[in-house]
């Protein structure tokens, strides 16, 4: 009887251990989902480079848009799944540099290759350098403490937005001596915005509750948006870029307003303490 009980206890312990091991394995696999999405974004950036070399500029542009969408998903999933890690942060930065610092420059290079000039090349290099500096600054600031309200803003233009914005000339005009020079100046301006301290909306504090009865309508709207991106990537880029550029002055005004309010709160708090 005692032997049977020991056997039953051993079997029960084995079952528990197997269950725990299965849960740990499942947890590890779930935590790798954000890294897998980052890898897909990196592959999308590489695909953009290939399409650019083959002069398939619309496909190259679409690949960068896809990389930007995936880049917006991996961080949010990492926070939702509690799967944030130092490896994931470094991997994301490397993927961002290729997809948003290198791929757009390769696209612009092959777009204006026949009319390439020294100043145009320098502007493209400035964009790539600014992208690397912007990512390095973001990683450094992520380890420092910041007020909760400041998380609603980025310092300077983020690299995914810069990658889409710098490609605006491709969607508006064919390469000519004049448009190539304008594209170079435009790239230099975007490079400046990346390394500047101008506050831009991060979207991290935006949240909305979607009623269940509107889920179908929301799904159809998202599906329509995806279809528009796939069918009309250039037109979508123009609209998105114009809206984003228009939001920069608004974000600066909003940041100053929030800063003033919290400074006044800090002053009042200091008076109460005294």
Per-residue burial over 185-223, b if 16 or more Cβ lie within 10 Å, else e, is ebbbebbebbbeebbbbeeeeeeeeeeeeeeeeeeeeee
Place of tokens 């179908």: 216
pLDDT (0 to 100) of residue 19: 47
- Residues 150-178 have pLDDT tens digits of 888 889 999 999 999 999 998 888 889 99
**Contact call for residues 229 and 44 (beta carbons, < 8 A):** no
**CB atoms closer than 10 angstroms to residue 15:** 10
pLDDT score at 202:
83
| DSSP labels, 111-123 | HTGGG--HHHHHH
pLDDT computed for residue 122 by the predictor: 94
Q: Which segment of 69-73, 90-94, 199-203, 227-231 scores lowest on mean pLDDT?
A: 227-231
Q: How far is CA 64 from the centre of its chain?
A: 11
Q: Is pLDDT above 90 for 192?
A: yes
Range 143-156 average pLDDT: 79
pLDDT per residue over 66-123, tens digit each? 999 898 888 778 777 777 788 888 899 999 999 999 999 999 999 988 888 889 999 9
Looking at per-residue pLDDT, the higher value among 126 and 147 belongs to 126
Q: Is the pLDDT of residue 211 over 70?
A: no
**Alpha carbons 218 and 210: distance in angstroms, whole number:** 8
- Compute the C-alpha angle 163/166/172, nearest 5°: 125
Task: Give the chain's mean pLDDT.
Answer: 82
Answer whether 44's CB lies under 8 Å from 67's CB.
Answer: yes
| Architecture of the 14-143+151-273 domain | Up-down Bundle (1.20)
For residue 158, what pLDDT is reported?
93
Contact 198, 248 (CB under 8 A): yes
Please work out, in degrees rounded to the nearest 5, the angle formed at the alpha carbon of residue 111 by the alpha carbons of 124 and 105. Answer: 30
Top-confidence range, 118-122, 191-195, 224-228: 191-195
Chain centroid, CA 65 distance in Å: 10
Q: How far apart are CA 205 and CA 207, in angstroms?
A: 6
* 3-state SS, residue 21: helix
- Above pLDDT 90, what percent of the chain? 40
62 pLDDT higher than 70 = yes
Question: Is 1 exposed, middle or buried, given 0-12, 13-18 or 19+ CB atoms closer than 10 A?
Answer: exposed
Average pLDDT over residues 239-245: 89
DSSP state of 167: T
**Where are the domains positioned within the chain?**
14-143+151-273
């Amino acid at each position: 009887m005692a032997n049977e009980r020991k056997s039953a206890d051993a079997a029960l312990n084995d079952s528990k251990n197997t269950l725990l091991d299965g849960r740990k394995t499942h947890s590890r696999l779930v935590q790798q989902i954000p890294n897998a999405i980052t890898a897909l974004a990196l592959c999308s950036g590489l695909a953009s480079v290939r399409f650019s070399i083959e002069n398939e500029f619309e496909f190259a542009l679409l690949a960068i848009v896809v990389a930007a969408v995936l880049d917006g998903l991996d961080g949010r999933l990492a926070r939702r799944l509690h799967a944030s890690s130092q490896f994931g942060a470094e991997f994301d930065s490397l993927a961002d540099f290729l997809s948003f610092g290198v791929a757009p420059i390769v696209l612009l290079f092959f777009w204006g290759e026949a009319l390439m000039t020294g100043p145009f090349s320098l502007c493209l290099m400035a964009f790539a350098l600014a992208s690397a500096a912007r990512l390095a600054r973001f990683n450094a600031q992520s380890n420092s403490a910041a007020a909760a309200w400041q998380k609603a803003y980025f310092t300077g233009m983020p690299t995914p937005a810069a990658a889409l914005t710098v490609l605006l000339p491709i969607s508006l005009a064919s390469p000519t001596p004049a448009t190539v020079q304008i594209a170079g100046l435009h790239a230099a301006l975007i490079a400046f915005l990346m390394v500047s301290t101008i506050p831009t909306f991060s979207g991290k504090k935006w949240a909305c509750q979607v009623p269940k009865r509107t889920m179908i309508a929301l799904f159809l709207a998202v599906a329509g948006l995806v279809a528009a991106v796939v069918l009309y990537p250039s037109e979508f880029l123009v609209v998105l870029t114009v809206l984003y550029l228009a939001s920069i002055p608004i974000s600066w005004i909003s940041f100053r307003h929030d800063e003033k309010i919290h400074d006044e709160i800090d002053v009042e708090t200091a008076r109460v303490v005294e």
